[in-house]
């Protein structure tokens, strides 16, 4: 029995590797599960952290953030460098995989309060489907400064 196991083990390992390398099948994930985002108050602004599921990616130039209620003095969103992708129609673009930390800088002192950030992004499941722009709402609290 041990002999049989020992003989088949390498084949099983190889087969498992092949199976893992195959594209992910089944229904695509909900956008909130494929690209969940969190908001954290950071020095000088707000960090938006995306966790991107394996086999999925976000377009680096397709983010938008709206704040409710308005009043947070936010500058231009800073997006990390991504993986270059040469798209036959879109040309050179950048995509983000696995984890992406975006930063929204404050341009002035932020008034204290709790804010809802409506974060819109766009991405795809590699070679399968692309998501039309989807919005997630995250909250962040700015404490009063002493």
Partner 1 sequence: MSARLFFAGVGVLALLAGTALWVGTRSIEPPGATVPADANPAALYTASFSDLQGQSRALGQFQGKVVVLNFWATWCAPCREEMPGFVKLQERWKDRNVQFVGIANDEREKVRRFGDELRINYPLWTGGPEVMDLSRRLGNRLGVLPHTVILDSGGRVVDSRVGVYREGPLEERLGALTAKRS
- Interface residues with partner 1 (CB under 8 A)? 3-4, 7-8, 10-12, 14-16, 18-19, 21-28, 30-31, 59, 87-90, 122, 124-125, 127-132, 134
16 or 107: CB nearest partner 1? 16
Decide: 5 and 13 in contact? Cβ < 8 Å: no
106 or 134: CB nearest partner 1? 134
CB of 104 to partner 1, least distance (A): 24
* Residue 83 main-chain phi, psi, to 5 deg: -85, 130
3-state secondary structure of 20: helix
30 or 83: CB nearest partner 1? 30
């Amino acid at each position: 029995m041990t002999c049989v196991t020992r003989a088949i083990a390498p084949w099983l390992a190889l087969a498992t590797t092949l199976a893992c390398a195959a594209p992910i099948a089944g229904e695509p994930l909900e956008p909130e599960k494929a690209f969940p985002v969190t908001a954290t108050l950071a020095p000088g602004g707000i960090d938006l952290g995306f966790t991107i599921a394996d086999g999925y990616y976000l377009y680096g130039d397709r983010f938008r953030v709206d704040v409710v209620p308005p009043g947070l003095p936010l500058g231009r969103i800073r997006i990390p460098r991504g993986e270059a992708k040469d798209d036959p129609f879109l040309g050179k673009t950048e995509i983000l995989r696995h984890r992406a930390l975006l930063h929204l800088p404050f341009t002035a002192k932020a008034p204290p309060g709790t804010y809802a950030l409506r974060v819109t992004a766009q991405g795809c499941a590699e070679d399968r489907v692309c998501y039309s722009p989807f919005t997630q709402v995250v909250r962040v609290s700015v404490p009063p400064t002493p």
